[in-house]
Chain A
Amino acid sequence: MTAAIEFLPPLLVVNVLTGLLDWFLVAVDGGFSWVAEATGLQFLGYPYMQRAYLSVLCIGVVGPLVGSFLVYRDLSMVGDTLAHTAFAGVAVALFLDATLSIAVPPLLGALVVAVIAALLVQALVEYTDARSDAALAMVLTGGFALGSVLISLTGGGISVGINQYLFGSLATVSRADIGLLVSMALVVAVAVAVAYRPLVFVTFDETAARASRVHVRVVNTLLSILTAFVVVSAMRIMGVILVAALLVVPVVTASRLGHSFKQSIWYGIVAGEFAGFAGVTLAYLFGLAAGGSIVLVAIGGFVAVAVGLRVSH
C-alpha cells in the first residue's frame, strides 16, 4: 500500500508531463497550421517540419546561451568534442539494440555518454598534466573511434541510420525527441539563469573568481554538462559534425554587436534563431542538408554583420 503511494507521484509526474507535451504539440500544430493557411506555406502544416522548427527554436536559444560562456575562454572546441563523443553514445544505444535487443533511445545514450565525456575532460585537465586542447583532442577522437568500432562490430547492420546522426536531418525528430529536447532546453535555460553570476565571473576572470572563493571547479563542471545537453539537443537536426557551430558562430557574431555581456547573449540568441529558422526553411525548399544549411546561414550572418559594421564606421 505504502509502496503504491510512493510510486504514485512519479507516475503522476510522468502523466502530467506527457499530457503537457501533448497539449503543447497540439497548440504548436494549431499555431503552425494557422500560419500555413494564412501564408500559403504548406510545409508549415507538416508535423515533421513543425518538430524541426521547434527543435531549432530550442537550440537557437540554448546554443548561444551556453556558447557565450565557452567562446571567451577559448573553449569553443568543448562543444565539438562532446558532440563527437555523443556520437559514441548513439552507437552504444544502437549497438545494444542490435546485439542484445535492449532498447535505449539513441538520444538518451548520447546524453549519458556526452555527460560522462564532459566529466572526463574536466578530470583529464585537472588531475593529469594534459594541456586542455590535447585532452579535448584525445576525448574527441576517442569518442568517435569508439562509435565507429561499435558500428563496424555489428557488421554494418546499424550503419544505415548513422548518416543522419553525422550530418543531421529534418525528418528524424520524433515526438519523443521533442519531449526530451524541450525539457533539456528548459533545464539549460533555468540552470544558466540561476548560475549566471558565477558563470560570468569565471568566464571573465577565473583567477579572481577563485580568489573570491567562487567554486570554480563546480562552475566548470556545470558548464561542461550544460554543453553536453546543448550538443545532444541539437544533434538530430545539425548532425554531430556540425553541432558545435551553434555554440560558437552566433556568439562570435553577437560579440561584434553587444555592448554588455547580457546584451550580447540576447543578440546571440537572435542570430541563432535566425540561422535555425532560415537554415531549416532553405533545407526544406531546396532539399539541402539541414545542419549544413543552418551553419552556412549562421556564418553568412556573421559576415553580413562584420561587413555592415565596417561600412557603417
Chain B
Amino acid sequence: MTVVSLSDVAFSYGDVPVIDGISLDIEAGEFLGLVGPNGSGKSTLLRLLLGLERPDRGEAHLFGEPAHEFGDGERIAYVAQDVTDAARDMPITVREVVRMGRYPRNLFGRFSDADRAAVDGALDRVDIADLADRRVGALSGGQRQRVFVARALAAESDLLALDEPTVALDAESRDSFYDLLADLNDRGLTIVLVEHDIGVVTARASRIACLNRELYFHGDSEDFAESDALAAAYGANQRVLDHSHDHHDAEAHASSDSEAKS
C-alpha cells in the first residue's frame, strides 16, 4: 500500500521557491530518511506530505486521498522540531501527553478501557512507564522524544513523521532512540524522518531521499552512499555532518548548477 504519494510537487514561501518538482512515493513499512543541507526544504516536504501545507503545483496524496483533505487524524503522528520548547515550561505529565494520542479518536467522550490500555501499552512499549507521572519538562531530551513516540503509538497510527528528533540528544540516547524506531519499523510502522546527520540516517533508514529544493536521490540507503547525490545536493565546499567518518567536506565535484541551488 502506498502511504504517501507526491507528484511534481512545488511549494514556495512568498517568492522563495522551497520545493520544486519533487515526486516520490512512500510505501507502507518503509523507513525513509530525508536529508539535505540547511534550508533545502526537508521540513517543508514533511509538512507537505502530511497535508499541513498545500502544494502550489502538483499533488500530494496521503493514504490515497489529497493530503490536505485527509481526515483520519489518528493515522498520522507528527513530532515537530519546535515541540520541546513548549514541553519545557508547561506543567504537564508524561501520561497527559501520551493521552493526546487518543484525542483524534476520542476528542470529547469518556476514555474507554481500550483508550487507557493503548496509553499504558504505549508507555510500556517505549520504556517510560515508570516516568508516567513525571513532568515532561523535567525529563532528559532522550526521554522526552520517547514521550512523543509513545503519543504516536497510543494513537495506533500508521505513519510516524519526525523532524530532527535527535538534534539535542547525546550519542547514547540517539542510538537507543534509533533502536526504538527500528524496532517499531520492524513491526510495520511507516516512518519518515528529517535528519541532519547523514551518517546516522544512512545507517538506520531503509530508504533515503536527498533534496535541495529538487530531489537529488531517492532509493535504498546502500545505493545512496555510492551515489554522488550527496555532493550534488550540498554543492561544493559545504561541510557535511557525518559522524561515521568524522566531519569532512563533501566531495567537491558538484556542478556549478547545483552550487547555484545551495
Contacts and interface: CB of A to CB of B under 8 A. Distances in A.
B232 interface: no
Interface bracket on B: 35 or more
Contact of B104 (A203, A212, A262): A212
Contact of A203 (B90, B93, B135): B90
A261 B76 contact: no
Contacts of A3: none
Contact of A259 (B52, B72, B93, B151): B93
Of A197, A205, A260, A264, most buried by chain B (CB within 10 Å of CB) is: A205
Interface string A120-164: 000000000000000000000000000000000000000000000
Contacts of A209: 100, 103
Interface stretch (B80-88, B120-128, B206-214): B80-88
A194 B83 CA distance: 25
B86 A72 contact: yes
Contacts of A248: none
Contact of A212 (B82, B95, B103): B103
Interface string B71-103: 111101111101100110111110111001001
Contacts of B76: 211-213
A168 to B, nearest CB: 29
A212 B80 contact: no
Contact of B79 (A198, A208, A214, A263): A208
Contacts, number: 96
Contacts of A203: 86, 90
A18 interface: no
A211 B78 contact: yes
A153 B48 CA distance: 53
Interface in A181-239: 194-195, 197-198, 200-201, 203-205, 207-214
B107 A205 contact: no
B93 A205 contact: no
Contact of A211 (B50, B86, B89, B107): B50
Given A197-B108, A205-B100, A261-B96, A255 B78 contact: no
A255 B136 CA distance: 13
A258 B91 contact: yes
B161 interface: yes
A275 interface: no
Contacts of A198: 103, 107
B83 A205 contact: yes
Interface of A: 72-73, 194-195, 197-198, 200-201, 203-205, 207-214, 254-255, 258-264
B103 A197 contact: yes
Given A200-B92, A212-B73, 11 more contacts: A195-B108, A197-B100, A207-B78, A208-B77, A211-B52, A211-B78, A213-B104, A214-B104, A259-B133, A259-B135, A261-B96
B83 A214 contact: no
A151 to B, nearest CB: 40
Contact of A260 (B71, B77, B96): B96
A208 B83 contact: yes
Contacts of B151: 208
A210 B79 CA distance: 11
Given A205-B83, A207-B52, A207-B82, A212 B74 contact: yes
Interface in B154-212: 155, 161
Q: Which 7 A-B pairs have CB atoms at the shortest separation, nearest pair first?
A: A213-B73, A211-B78, A212-B73, A258-B91, A207-B80, A264-B91, A72-B90
B224 interface: no
Contacts of B155: 212
Given A212-B155, A213-B73, A261-B92, A205 B86 contact: yes
Contacts of B78: 207-208, 211-212
